[in-house]
């Protein structure tokens, strides 16, 4: 075991526990639990959004994909960033003005209906759980490789930590863990990128020239088409990436942590700068790993290329840099799963318990208690699911989460804000068609079925694309439209109120 | 006790209608623009090889277009921030109007 890595891991655990200790003193009410009291500045929330968003899949996954497949790996970086324009232009401000604690709050601001709240909460839980299983399974194999702990122990450690942060520190702890992680991740990536760039004498031309001959792909490395060979699948992936972010519940709840819509706006702008700079640096990580570690050495450690970034750190800066980058990866995982636990727990406690079971009559004390128990429940469930899924290839669950978010949530969020005629029936059919079609299409896709047994089941896939977005996203919109038109109900008066609130915050 | 604002009157006011019109005229064309700009990249790389031509030395147009996506995103962020200062002013007026009416 690498002792530096081990002590840095302990250091991160210590910092986050100290944050949680102080946060717990400030978490006495439901509002503090769900939103941290709504007092973050735009800059702080921007960092927290970045910390919530840039998962290990981004940091390790994209670096590995670029190192192994060149240009195609960069598609994720672009999609993950441009997605923030959808958040900024269409969603962030109306969401802040209409919602209170959860995504369902915003839709319920227009349609005060238990069924809608229930379906919206179900989507939140589904998306957060898929995402979390992928992160936890990834955490297991990562920590095993970095620290030598076995995968079960690693998953349990990460699971216990995320539970502690959320149960005791609520949103305040979550925000500051995410801010800490964002700073560490940016620092770590910047250092590596700088060293890589220096090795090429700070010349992009020299770097690109070198990469033409440095990999087994030869000149093709720099061209698109090494990884994504089916055009429709590429488009489908890109569609889910760019539209999914604006429907991810754990990102959406971050907008309730600021005081008003203009602050929500400025936090997206800060986040977009940070996230954009980070994704530009993924090119340096990927190219660096391809040039200084080499494709063979990367795949020898992990077939998916997930260790490209830590291996690059070792090649450039020896054991210390390796330990530091490994610790950054650990912090990255912790911050993301913490945000996911909180979003799923708030859907359980605020939407299901508070509004559907208790019909809004629960006392402050009962609500807070429910929120804490829901967090424990969500964590335990995810840990168990992750332990079962440990041996499976679950990387596709991240893109599934984006596809469900884009298909089930985004159409309804957009129509709630912009479409006058939209009604309860449309919201329910839209969310359900989006959710069910995305899940079904993935269940019969090559991510789940492979004739050679490389996926979960052995056999031919019925649906040819790995990403369902290109079918399920239009279906989500069409479902919402058809549901609306088939029902004669429409409530123009309520829309007037929602329109005024969404746009002015009055 | 705070009374519920009169949403019908606010939405019928000239100021509010103006704001909605301005927002619509800004948000929809811009959204359409960035979505088209974004999808042009995977469409071009999937269905043609034109972007494989070199742009600057060894850097091909595919990479130039990919980096342009970042510039586009940041530029649209700044444009939005600037534009929303105008929206905020209009919102402030609408709020004052609504508050004035309540007092009277």
DSSP states of A371-399: HHHHHHHHHHHHHHHHHHHTTS--THHHH
Is the CB of B68 inside 8 Å of chain A's CB atoms? Answer: no
Does the CB of A280 have a partner CB in chain B at under 8 Å?
Answer: yes
| DSSP summary character for residue B4 | P
Q: Does A212 touch chain B (CB under 8 A)?
A: yes
Interface check for B70 against chain A (CB to CB < 8 A): the answer is yes
CA distance A125 to chain B (A): 28
- The total of other beta-carbon atoms located within 10 Å of residue A13's CB is 17
Tokens of residue A114, six digits: 């238990």
Whole-structure pTM value:
0.93
Residue A427, in any domain of the structure: no
Q: Does A493 touch chain B (CB under 8 A)?
A: yes
Domain that holds residue A177: 3-384
Judge: A85–B34 Cβ closer than 8 Å, yes or no.
Answer: yes
Say what angle helices A103-110 and A492-504 make with each other, to 10 degrees. 140
Q: Tell me how far apart the alpha carbons of residues A231 and A224 are, in angstroms, rounded to a whole number.
A: 11
B91/A505 touch (CB, cutoff 8 Å), yes or no: yes
B86 at the A interface (CB within 8 A)? no
CB of A220 within 8 Å of a chain B CB? The answer is no
Element (H, E) at B56: strand B54-56
| Assigned domain for B2 exists | no
Asked, for residue B3, whether it belongs to a domain, the answer is no
Residue whose token pair is 């972007």: B51
Closest by CA to A377, choosing from A348, A397, A350, A354, is A348
Residue A82 falls within a domain, yes or no?
A: yes
In which band, very low, low, confident or very high, does the pLDDT at B1 lie, cut at 50, 70 and 90?
very low
B10 touches A: beta carbon within 8 Å: yes
The verdict on a CB contact (< 8 Å) between B42 and A234 is yes
CB contact under 8 A, A74 and B66: yes
Pairing label, strands A449-450, A457-458: parallel
Give the residue numbers spanning the domain of B30.
Answer: 19-103
Residue of B29, B70, B82 for testing the chain A interface, max A β-carbons within 10 Å: B70
C-alpha distances (whole Å) from A247 to each of A164, A406, A408, B68 are 27, 6, 8, 25
Q: Residue A202 corresponds to which tokens in the numbers above?
A: 């700070």
Residue A59 per-residue DSSP state: I
Find tokens 């232009």 and name the residue: A89
Tokens of B1: 């006790």
Residue A318, sorted as left (phi over 0), alpha (psi -120 to 50) or beta, turns out to be left
Closest by alpha carbon to A289, among A442, A67, A42, A2? Answer: A67
Q: How many domains does chain A have?
A: 1
- 8 A C-beta contact, residue A285 and residue A312: yes
* Yes or no, beta carbons of A266 and B81 under 8 Å apart: yes
Chain A positions in Cβ-Cβ contact with residue B51 (cut-off 8 Å)? 224
> What residue of A is the nearest CA neighbor of B78?
A269
Does residue B53 sit within a domain? yes
pLDDT mean across residues, chain B = 90
What residue of B is the nearest CA neighbor of A88?
B77
CA distance A368 to A167: 10
Q: How far apart are CA A343 and CA A334, in angstroms?
A: 14
User: A105 is written with which tokens?
Assistant: 């709050």
Query: Please, which residues have CB within 8 angstroms of residue A303's CB and are 6 or more apart in sequence?
Result: none
Cβ within 8 Å of B, A 419-448: none
pLDDT for res B102: 59
Nearest to B87 by CA among A503, A249, A276, A14: A503
- Using CA atoms of A420, A120, A123, A421 in order, give the dihedral in degrees to the nearest 10: -10
Scanning A80-139 for CB atoms below 8 A from B yields 81-82, 84-86, 88-90
Give me the pLDDT at residue B104, please. Answer: 52
A361 assigned to some structural domain = yes
**Whether the predicted pLDDT of B2 surpasses 70:** no
**Per-residue burial over A397-430, b = 16 or more CB atoms within 10 Å of its CB, e = otherwise:** bbbbbbbbbbbbbbbbbbbbbeeeebbbbbbbbb
Q: CA-CA distance, A244 to A404, in Å (whole number)?
A: 7
Query: CB distance B8–A493 less than 8 Å?
Result: yes
| A279: chain B residues, CB-CB within 8 Å | 70
Tell me whether B52 touches chain A (CB under 8 Å): yes
Distances (CA, A) of A154 to A7, A58, A220, A332, B72: 16, 20, 38, 14, 40
List, for residues B32-79, the tens digit of each pLDDT value: 999 999 999 999 999 988 888 888 889 999 999 999 999 999 999 999
Q: Per residue in A166-177, is it b (16+ CB within 10 Å) or e — as a string?
A: bbbbbbbbbbbb
Provide the 8-state DSSP code for A405: I
* Domain membership flag for residue B4: no
Interface of A with B in 169-208 (CB under 8 A): 204-205, 208
User: Coil, helix or strand for A258?
Assistant: strand
Q: Which residue does chain A place closest to B23, by CA atoms? A: A503
In chain A, what residues touch B78 (CB-CB under 8 Å)? 269
Cα–Cα distance measured from residue A413 to residue A95, given in angstroms and rounded to the nearest whole number = 9
Give the separation between CA A403 and CA A78, rounded to whole angstroms: 16
Residue B26 forms part of a structural domain: yes
C-alpha distance from B8 to closest chain A C-alpha (Å):
6
In a domain, A99, yes or no: yes
Residue of B5, B77, B84 lying closest to A272 (CB–CB): B77
- The DSSP secondary-structure symbol of A111 reads -
Two tokens at B26? 């800004």
Nearest-angstrom CA–CA distance, A279 and A327:
19
In a domain, A480, yes or no: no
Instruction: Give A17: exposed, middle or buried? Use CB within 10 Å, 0-12, 13-18, 19+.
Output: middle
Structural domain count, chain B: 1
What is the domain-level CATH number for residue A207? 1.20.1730.10
Q: Give yes or no for a contact between A245 and A251, defined as CB atoms under 8 angstroms apart.
A: yes
Contacts of B101 in chain A (CB under 8 A): none
A78, A88, A504 ranked by CB distance to B91: nearest: A504
Nearest beta carbon to residue B69 from set A82, A223, A262: A82
Assigned token pair, A21: 């200790």
Contacts of B94 in chain A (CB under 8 A): 504, 506
Mean pLDDT by 10 residues, chain A (506 residues): 83 94 91 90 96 87 91 93 96 92 91 88 92 88 82 91 94 94 95 96 92 88 89 92 94 94 95 96 95 92 85 92 90 92 92 86 86 93 90 79 94 93 93 95 89 82 90 96 89 86 88
In a domain, B36, yes or no: yes
CA-based nearest residue to A438, from A415, A460, A465, A416: A465
Q: Which long-range contacts (C-beta less than 8 Å, at least 24 apart) are formed by A388-395?
A: A389/A133, A389/A137, A390/A137, A390/A140, A390/A151, A390/A152, A390/A155, A392/A137, A392/A456, A393/A454, A393/A455, A393/A456, A394/A133, A394/A134, A394/A137, A395/A57, A395/A61, A395/A134, A395/A138, A395/A304
Question: What is the C-alpha separation between B56 and A150, in angstroms, rounded?
Answer: 48
pLDDT at res. B103: 58
Structure-token pair, residue B103: 């007092």
Measured CA to CA, the distance from residue A308 to residue A288 in angstroms comes to 9
């Amino acid at each position: 075991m690498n002792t530096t890595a081990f002590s840095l891991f302990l250091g991160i655990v210590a910092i986050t526990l100290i944050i949680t200790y102080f946060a717990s003193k400030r978490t006495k009410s439901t509002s503090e639990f769900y939103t941290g009291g709504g007092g973050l500045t735009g800059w702080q929330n921007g960092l927290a959004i970045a910390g919530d968003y840039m998962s290990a899949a981004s940091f390790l996954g994209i670096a590995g994909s670029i190192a192994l497949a060149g240009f195609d790996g960069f598609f994720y970086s672009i999609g993950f960033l441009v997605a923030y324009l959808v958040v900024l232009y269409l969603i962030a401000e109306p969401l802040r003005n209409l919602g209170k604690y959860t995504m369902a709050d915003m839709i319920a601001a227009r349609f005060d209906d238990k069924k809608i709240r229930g379906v919206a909460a179900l989507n939140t839980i589904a998306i957060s759980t898929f995402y979390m299983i992928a992160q936890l399974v990834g955490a297991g194999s990562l920590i095993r490789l970095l620290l030598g702990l076995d995968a079960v122990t690693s998953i349990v450690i990460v699971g216990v930590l995320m539970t502690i942060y959320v149960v005791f520190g609520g949103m305040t702890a979550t925000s500051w863990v995410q801010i800490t992680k964002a700073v560490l991740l940016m620092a770590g990536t910047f250092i590596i990128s700088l060293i890589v760039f220096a090795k090429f004498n700070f010349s992009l031309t020299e770097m690109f020239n070198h990469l033409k001959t440095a990999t087994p792909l030869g000149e093709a490395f720099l061209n698109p088409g090494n990884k994504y060979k089916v055009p429709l699948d590429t488009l489908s992936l890109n569609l889910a990436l760019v539209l999914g972010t604006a429907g991810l519940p754990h990102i959406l709840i971050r907008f309730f942590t600021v005081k008003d819509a203009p602050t929500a706006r400025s936090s997206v702008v800060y986040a977009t700068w940070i996230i954009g700079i980070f994704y530009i640096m993924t090119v340096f990580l990927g190219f660096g790993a391809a040039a200084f570690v080499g494709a063979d050495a990367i795949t020898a450690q992990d077939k998916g290329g997930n260790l490209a970034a830590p291996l690059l750190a070792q090649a450039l800066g020896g054991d210390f840099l390796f330990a530091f980058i490994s610790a950054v990866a650990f912090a990255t995982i912790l911050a993301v799963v913490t945000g996911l636990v909180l979003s799923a727990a708030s859907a359980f406690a605020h939407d299901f318990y508070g509004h559907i079971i208790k019909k809004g009559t629960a006392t402050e004390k009962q609500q807070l208690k429910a929120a804490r128990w829901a967090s424990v429940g969500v964590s335990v469930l995810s840990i168990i699911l992750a332990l079962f899924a440990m041996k499976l290839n679950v990387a596709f669950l991240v893109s599934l989460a984006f596809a469900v978010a884009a298909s089930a949530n985004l159409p309804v969020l957009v129509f709630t804000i912009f479409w006058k005629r939209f009604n309860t029936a449309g919201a329910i059919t839209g969310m359900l068609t989006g959710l069910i079609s995305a899940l079904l299409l993935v269940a019969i896709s090559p991510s789940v079925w492979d004739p050679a047994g490389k996926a979960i089941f052995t056999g031919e896939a019925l649906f040819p694309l790995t990403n369902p977005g290109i079918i399920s996203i239009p279906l989500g919109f069409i479902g919402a439209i058809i549901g609306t038109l088939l029902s004669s109900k429409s409530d123009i008066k309520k829309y007037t109120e929602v329109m005024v609130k969404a746009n002015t915050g009055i | 006790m705070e009374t519920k604002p009169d949403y019908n009157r606010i939405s019928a006011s000239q100021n509010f209608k103006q704001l909605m019109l301005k927002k619509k005229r800004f948000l929809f064309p811009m959204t359409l623009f960035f979505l088209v700009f974004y999808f042009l990249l995977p469409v071009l790389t999937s269905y043609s090889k034109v972007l494989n031509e070199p742009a600057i030395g060894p850097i091909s147009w595919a990479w130039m277009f990919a980096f342009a996506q970042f510039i586009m995103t940041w530029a649209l962020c700044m444009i939005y921030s600037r534009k929303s200062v105008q929206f905020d002013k209009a919102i402030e007026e609408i709020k004052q109007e609504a508050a004035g009416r309540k007092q009277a």
